[in-house]
Amino acid sequence: MPAPLNLAGRRFGRLRVLATNGRIKFGREQTAWLVVCNCGRQETVAQSLLTQRGWRECSWCQRPECLICGNKVLSDRPRSNTCSDTCAAVQRRKTNQEHYHRRVAADAEFNRRRYQRLTDRMMLDVELAKRVRQIQHASGKRWRNDPANREAIRQYMAAHYAMNRVVIQARRRARLDAMTPEQLAHWRVRIRNYQRLYAQRYRDLIRSDPERHRAYLDRMREYRRRLDWAVKKVF
């Protein structure tokens, strides 16, 4: 039986020993000590934890921190490195993404083969095909609605129109020719509203630049002057 130690007042890392607190069974029965940690928490620990196991902070401070949010992982989640199911899902996603990026970096054909496998399976599985198409639509919609992609979309549409102008205009012409007079009237109203909105946006844009705004007003004045002159000449 070792001689009883007096640890009161001693420091073990972040722990300061306050006083004995009875006896405790940890392996064998031994002295229990009340300690206070630098974090402010007090707890009672077995003597051998301090003298042999090398405890230098309280059991709370020893808890692992969540890899995602940094909060302590509580004892209801043993062997987990995340504090909650939400953080666990984020961590799983991160791990999967890292794995994916490693695979893609190592193998240029990885994505093409994976997509091929998926389309093969979609041919056989109607439900899967439907689900994949839903996911693709949603992801395309997210991409289109992201303001960061607006310029790319504008450029793509402009290039598409420049390349297919004849076809697009013929298609428009055919659509207009096929309309009933009521549909045509409705179409005219819609187009006029679009044009009004466009002109509004253009004026707002120009107003934000005083130099350009002045030039624009001059141009409009000149236009109206000529219009008056032309009208006078006709009548």
Q: How far apart are CA 128 and CA 53, in angstroms?
A: 55
Only one of the segments 43-51, 68-76, 129-137, 196-204 lies at the binding site for Zn ion (rule: CB under 5 A); that segment is 68-76
Strand, coil or helix: 218? helix
Query: What one-character DSSP code corresponds to residue 5?
Result: P
| 35 is a site residue for Zn ion (CB under 5 A) | no
H runs (alpha helix) in the chain: 47-51, 59-62, 85-106, 110-124, 126-145, 150-163, 165-177, 181-207, 210-234
Q: How far apart are CA 105 and CA 27, in angstroms?
A: 52
Q: Fill in the per-residue mask, 127 to 146: x = in contact with Zn ion (CB under 5 A), - = not in contact.
A: --------------------
Read out DSSP for 53-96?
S---S-HHHHSPBPTTT-PBPPTTSTT-SSSSHHHHHHHHHHHH
Only one of the segments 60-68, 148-156, 185-193, 214-222 lies at the binding site for Zn ion (rule: CB under 5 A); that segment is 60-68
| 37 is a site residue for Zn ion (CB under 5 A) | yes
| 32 is a site residue for Zn ion (CB under 5 A) | no
Strand partners, 65: 72
Strand, coil or helix: 43? strand
| 61 is a site residue for Zn ion (CB under 5 A) | yes
| 39 is a site residue for Zn ion (CB under 5 A) | yes
Say if residue 46 is exposed, middle or buried (CB neighbours under 10 Å; 0-12, 13-18, 19+): buried
- Of 60 and 223, which has the nearer Cβ to Zn ion? 60
CB of 14 to Zn ion, least distance (A): 6
CB of 30 to Zn ion, least distance (A): 22
- Of 68 and 122, which has the nearer Cβ to Zn ion? 68
| 49 is a site residue for Zn ion (CB under 5 A) | no
| 69 is a site residue for Zn ion (CB under 5 A) | yes
| 68 is a site residue for Zn ion (CB under 5 A) | yes
| 66 is a site residue for Zn ion (CB under 5 A) | yes
Q: How far apart are CA 114 and CA 122, in angstroms?
A: 12
> Site residues for Zn ion, window 74-93 (CB under 5 A)?
83, 87
For Zn ion, the binding residues (CB under 5 A) are 37, 39, 41, 58, 61, 66, 68-69, 71, 83, 87
